[in-house]
Structure 1
Amino acid sequence: MMNRPAPLPAPILAARGLRKTYGTTHALDGVDLNVEAGESVAIMGPSGSGKTTLMHILSGILTPDAGSVQFAGDGTGATEVTSLNEEARAKLRREHLGFVFQDGLLLPELTAVENVALPLMLSGVPRQGAESHAAQWLSALGLDGMQTRRLGELSGGQAQRVAIARAQVADPHVVFADEPTGALDSATSASVLDALLDSTVGRGRTLVMVTHDQTTADRCSRLVRMADGRMVADSASAAAGGAR
């Protein structure tokens, strides 16, 4: 009897037939996408191409009008994100996903360490333990000694590092980043991107990033291009085609 090959691991994210309409605008018009564990995927496209809508549906922030998203990173088999209610999607995001946004979305009334500790505390971790772990992440991202600073006392690059630490503190399987370097100068952007990549794919985690900057996209292992709500190019498909 011939030995069967071991089954390939399921992608950590699998989207099928995603559609989303706002009025008469087709933000997504039948998008299929697999994201493998450990990849860094840059999603690019002009304004209105659907790239941010795609990221928000993949992460469970939005639900599609049609189609499905499966997440296979929690160790319990694939979870169909699009079938979960709002509370269950929020729990999934809190426990398994991390987020970095262009403006950081830090709370200005909290210190750096309090901002980073917040996701852990929302999951029930006691304050002392949460802040201790948050301080370790701040130190790992070059912010040792800045734990008690508030947003107004940080540079743009430092604030984004705090946002990265907050995204990583619960050890998520996938980090979603929406224009994480869009408000930074080129030198600071490169430094922040280094920190983001090192703390995600450098630890075997997965990064999905929306960006308008080609230099930033070139740092990722894969590039997906969107136009008019459709995926029009995928470097993974191109590489597979060239390898045949």
Structure 2
Amino acid sequence: MDHRAGATRLLSMDTHDSPAVLVATGVAKTYDSTIALDGASLSVAAGESLAIMGASGSGKTTLLHCLAAVIAPDSGSIRMSVPGAQPIELVGLDEEARSQLRRTHCGFVFQEGLLLPELSAVENVALPLMLTGHPRSDAERAAAPWLHALGLAGMEDRRIGQLSGGQAQRVAIARAQVTGAPVVFADEPTGALDSATSSDVMDALLYATSGQGRSLVLVTHDAAVAARCDRTLHMRDGRIVHEETAR
């Protein structure tokens, strides 16, 4: 499977008529006297890739963490559509409920991958399934095709320290997808990579998310990375101040 071809197909997708999988309205978050989010509102369509940009301290990572049920906002509404069920209101959920939601409906890709170095590539990808009760053999059987699809066939048994930075990020992308999560959240997924590797990792990330009809919400400082997404939101002082749509 050619993940570059998949990413190319993605860029021509029209997501404007797709149903929203995530809708945030008036989201606010304050830390002591610092306003991190000041009434941020947005929606994310099924199969859409959305980039969030802004200077350090603009609130973009706080917004991502609220959307992904990592932290609870102080006020506002965040509704996530769940296949086969009524939309879930994230605001007001306790930590246990947010944790369950993250395990079943959210995928995560971070700047440093946050992979477990003592595990092999296939074990890292299979881990989310094992944490939800799947037998190890079944979890690894489901994980292997994602490694193959992302160009890592034959590397299933390698430890993370035996992989390049770009290869490790593709393992993280596979891990984010193995549960079938409808939304993947990525926080500076190319921030530690050179430009050529960054482009390759974005190919893989877009193929694995929007290319499969899943949604991607990505925080980045890199305008070239944001330009690969369907839309870009720009933040300042906890507010969304500008929106761009890809041509």
Q: Work out whether the TM-score is over 0.5.
A: yes
Where does the alignment leave 5 or more consecutive residues of structure 2 unmatched?
Answer: 1-16
Task: Give 1:10 shift.
Answer: 4.9
Where does structure 1 differ by over 3 angstroms across 4 or more consecutive aligned residues? none
Whether the 8 Å CA contact 1:74–1:96 is kept in 2: the answer is: no
Whether the 8 Å CA contact 1:44–1:226 is kept in 2: the answer is: yes
Equivalent in the alignment of 2:191: 182
Equivalent in the alignment of 2:23: 14
Whether the 8 Å CA contact 2:122–2:140 is kept in 1: the answer is: yes
Counterparts of 1:1-244 in structure 2, within 5 Å, are 10-235=19-244
Deviates most, 20-29 or 185-194: 20-29
**2: CA distance, partners of 1:21 / 1:173:** 29
SS at match of 1:44: strand
TM-score, length basis structure 1: 0.92
SS at match of 2:91: helix
Count residues with an aligned counterpart: 231
**Deviation per CA, 1:130-173, whole angstroms, max 9, x where unpaired?**
01111111111111111111111110000000000000000110
Task: Give 1:235 shift.
Answer: 2.2
**1: CA distance, partners of 2:18 / 2:233:** 21
Whether the 8 Å CA contact 1:14–1:71 is kept in 2: the answer is: yes
Whether the 8 Å CA contact 1:107–1:151 is kept in 2: the answer is: yes
**1: CA distance, partners of 2:94 / 2:80:** 15
**1: CA distance, partners of 2:212 / 2:188:** 21
Larger radius of gyration: 1
Where does the alignment leave 5 or more consecutive residues of structure 1 unmatched?
Answer: 1-7, 240-244
* Residue type of the alignment partner of 2:227: D
* Residue type of the alignment partner of 2:49: S
Whether the 8 Å CA contact 1:10–1:72 is kept in 2: the answer is: no
